[in-house]
Amino acid sequence: MRKKLPLLGALSAFIVMAMPMLVLAAEKEAEKPALYATGWAVLPPLIAIVLALITKEVYSSLFLGVVVGGVLFAGADFAGILNHVFIDGMVGALSDPWNVGILIFLVFLGIMVAMLNLSGGSAAFGRWAAGKIKSRAAAQGSTVFLGMLIFIDDYFNCLTVGSVMRPLSDEYNVSRAKLAYLIDATAAPICIIAPISSWAAAVSGFVEGENGFTVFVRAIPYNFYAILTIVMMFALIGMKFDYGPMARFEKNASEKGDLFTVHDAAAAEAAEENAPINEKGKVVDLVVPILMLITGAVIGMIYTGKFFSGESFKDSFANADASVGLVLGCGVALILTVIFYSVRRVLPFKRCMDCVPEGFKQMVSPIAILTLAWSLKAMTDSLGLSDFVKKMIGNSGSSWMSFLPAIIFLIAVVLAFASGTSWGTFGMLIPIAIAATQNAPELMYVSISACMAGAVCGDHCSPISDTTIMSSAGAGVNHLAHVSTQLPYALTVAGVSFVAYLVAGFVKSWVISLPIGVVLMILTLVVIKKSFGTPISNLKEYTSDPQ
């Protein structure tokens, strides 16, 4: 607390010094505050992110960011601050149908994961995979492959891959931080280049005046951040090294059997270890429910997109409501899984019902963080962060057309990092990119892809991103430990992607720019390995969990 007092004092001093400006803000119009669409709109998420990284405490940091947003919006009106923070922010976030659907989906998925573990299916898969997979590299590679197969939705990807691969990665002492990175790097980056996904549907909806699905497909080869992230994962696994904070986590896991390094997740680890193992469980008890989940998610998505009312498969995905579709699909899969386990006598009905509160408890932390993150987004929306960014791009984009993709990529990174949302960034920047490149179709595809890539990159780096939060939950690791270990990897790919967008802006061809990006990515990793890398091959490997 003594170390945190100067930081809190500085924040208090800022608020006091800003009071003259806040008094002016109190004299706002009913709809918009005096500080609307100014640089002050960046302050609430910036404060939340900086405090989270310094204090390593995400709940209070997010809440303080929300409070600062309320102060900037309402000025000296104390009642207005309370109303904006709690009513417009938290209550508004929890009353939004989309958000409620995501929370229900998380609870359903938590229950599903609890049943998978209690049935012995996850343990059986770990035993089966241990006979097939003989190294840490193979365990990490199989995690990446599974993440690439579950491309329907990033939320579904994060929690499903985590629950399935956690026993196997623990078996070979892959750190939970590395597992969280592999989960996060195969969630949004895979979904954003998959034509059949909730992300494709979202992006298609933001492309006005064009065939959204066609534009999305044409933009895929230019999505350098997503493609290079996949290249980087396989390169790190194949070259057997890590760098930055991740190297310490991996070294502790491999040499000491310490999967966490940051040990506030020890209670969850102990609960997993002390849970009784169901000897009746088989691999089929894991595979069948997972297939039900995937099938249910696909059917739920196309159902909301009017597939069963005559729409084509492509159009039904483009018009799908991912929140509702995932709830429907996961809910049906949950019911079928209870019936499946009861018929197989793996879990009696009462034990299945015991998983309901257990699954809910597992999701309490992600739900709390998501609620605060959504409330923070409500603060930035009310302060006009999107309009501020539009003004910035509108004033700079037209005179630097060849540099436009690289500029858009950087702005999208910053915006998604500050707001913690990819989809919100799409909505802000894609219409601007289309308007700025109306007379240059190929440059339009590059610029739209730069929006998507930058948004995914910023979302990947942000501690208040929902996918980052759920990747931490899926891996069972401390959230800020995941953020700090992942950040150097994401920034490395971002730097190479920026160069690739500079090239693409001039040559306007992915056939040239994408290979340049891939080669540059590999060369960068070779240099990093020689200069800073910790070779994992030199570390002791366990063939079973020493704990």
What's the confidence (pLDDT) of residue 514?
A: 96
Q: How far apart are CA 303 and CA 291, in angstroms?
A: 18
Token representation of residue 489: 């990897």
Q: Please name which of 229, 225, 200 lies closest in space to residue 504, comparing C-alpha atoms.
A: 225
The letter for the amino acid at 504 is: A
Token look-up 């799409």 returns 426
What's the confidence (pLDDT) of residue 399?
A: 53
What's the confidence (pLDDT) of residue 242?
A: 94
The letter for the amino acid at 59 is: Y
User: What backbone phi and psi angles, to 5 degrees, belong to 242?
Assistant: -140, 165
Q: Which residues contact 289 (CB under 8 A, 6 or more apart)?
A: 112, 115, 116, 121, 333, 337, 340
Type and span of the H or E element at 268? helix 266-274
Q: Is 79 exposed, middle or buried (0-12, 13-18, 19+ CB in 10 A)?
A: exposed
Q: Are 182 and 143 in contact (CB under 8 A)?
A: yes
Q: Could you count the other beta carbons within 10 Å of the beta carbon of residue 214?
A: 13
Q: Could you count the other beta carbons within 10 Å of the beta carbon of residue 217?
A: 15
DSSP tag of 438: T
- Which ranges constitute the DSSP H helices of 136-175? 136-149, 154-171
Token look-up 């966490």 returns 260
Q: Please name which of 518, 474, 452 lies closest in space to residue 147, comparing C-alpha atoms.
A: 474
DSSP tag of 177: H
What's the confidence (pLDDT) of residue 22?
A: 41
Q: Are 277 and 321 in contact (CB under 8 A)?
A: no
Q: Are 411 and 389 in contact (CB under 8 A)?
A: yes
Q: Which residues contact 301 (CB under 8 A, 6 or more apart)?
A: 152, 153, 198, 201, 316, 317, 320, 322, 325, 326, 329
Q: How far apart are CA 516 and CA 450, in angstroms?
A: 16
Q: Are 323 and 301 in contact (CB under 8 A)?
A: no
Distances (CA, A) of 483 to 79, 342, 470: 35, 40, 12
What's the confidence (pLDDT) of residue 227?
A: 97
pTM above 0.85, yes or no: no
The letter for the amino acid at 468 is: T
Q: Print pLDDT tens along the chain (547 aa).
A: 455 555 555 555 444 444 444 444 444 434 678 888 888 888 888 888 778 767 767 788 889 989 999 999 998 888 999 999 999 999 998 898 888 887 888 788 788 878 887 888 877 876 787 778 888 999 999 999 988 987 766 777 787 788 788 888 888 899 999 999 999 999 989 989 987 665 766 676 567 666 666 788 889 999 999 999 999 999 999 999 999 999 999 999 988 888 888 875 443 543 354 445 677 788 899 889 888 988 888 898 889 888 898 888 777 876 777 778 888 988 999 999 999 999 998 888 998 999 899 888 877 877 887 788 788 888 888 888 777 766 766 555 455 788 989 999 998 898 888 877 787 677 667 877 876 777 778 888 999 999 999 999 998 998 888 889 888 888 888 888 999 999 999 999 999 999 999 999 999 999 999 999 999 999 999 999 999 877 765 444 444 343 3
The letter for the amino acid at 454 is: G
